[in-house]
Amino acid sequence: MSTEPPRHPLPPFSKATAIEKVRLAEDGWNGRNPAKVALAYTPDSKWRNRAEFPQGRAEIEEFLTRKWNKELDYRLIKELWAYTDNRIAVRYAYEYHDDSGNWFRAYGNENWEFDENGFMAYRHASINEKPITEAERKFRWPLGRRPDDHPGLSDLDL
């Protein structure tokens, strides 16, 4: 049994609490702090992310550190797709550039499963990306949390 305080909102999810959980995840990832983000997952969390399969918070933190060291000016939007008792499905898009200034937009879907204390135990991600020009970017808010009035994925026809 974990001694960590619960991570609200807790399952079972309603539509409102699922949307809240998705936004909290988006905010965390847009903060790009690997150690802080890793705390949203169970100590033995299992991931599938492209060809990598991190397990546990230490590997998740290492993965995110590598990711955000190469995906510069990273900005992400997540949107609820579906939910049930302790599972949430999201779709998302993010934009970043590499160290040569080449811009990309990645699109994906994630399936999440939470434990009873609100920590994510499983994360299965499917991702594809395409090169974009700087002029094609749609995510132009200052680094960090997406402003509340910024359009979401559906609003942007993504």
Read off the pLDDT band of 1 (50, 70, 90): low
Query: DSSP of 23-73, one letter per residue?
Result: HHHHHHHHHT-HHHHHTTEEEEEEEEETTB--BHHHHHHHHHHHHHHHSEE
What is the average pLDDT score of the chain? 97
R_g (Cα) of the chain, nearest Å? 15
The three-state secondary structure class of 74 is strand
Q: For residue 46, give the nearest of 61, 56, 36 by alpha carbon.
A: 56
What average pLDDT does range 118-128 have in this prediction?
97
Would you say residue 25 has pLDDT above 90? yes
Q: For residue 99, give the nearest of 118, 79, 135, 73 by alpha carbon.
A: 73
Would you say residue 154 has pLDDT above 60? yes
pLDDT tens track for 44-87: 999 999 999 999 999 999 999 999 999 999 999 999 999 999 99
Would you say residue 144 has pLDDT above 90? yes
User: Is 0.75 topped by the overall pTM?
Assistant: yes
Residue 99 CA, distance from chain mean position: 22
Read off the pLDDT band of 98 (50, 70, 90): very high
Read off the pLDDT band of 3 (50, 70, 90): confident
For position 7, what pLDDT does the model report?
96
* Cβ-based neighbour number of residue 10 at 10 Å: 16
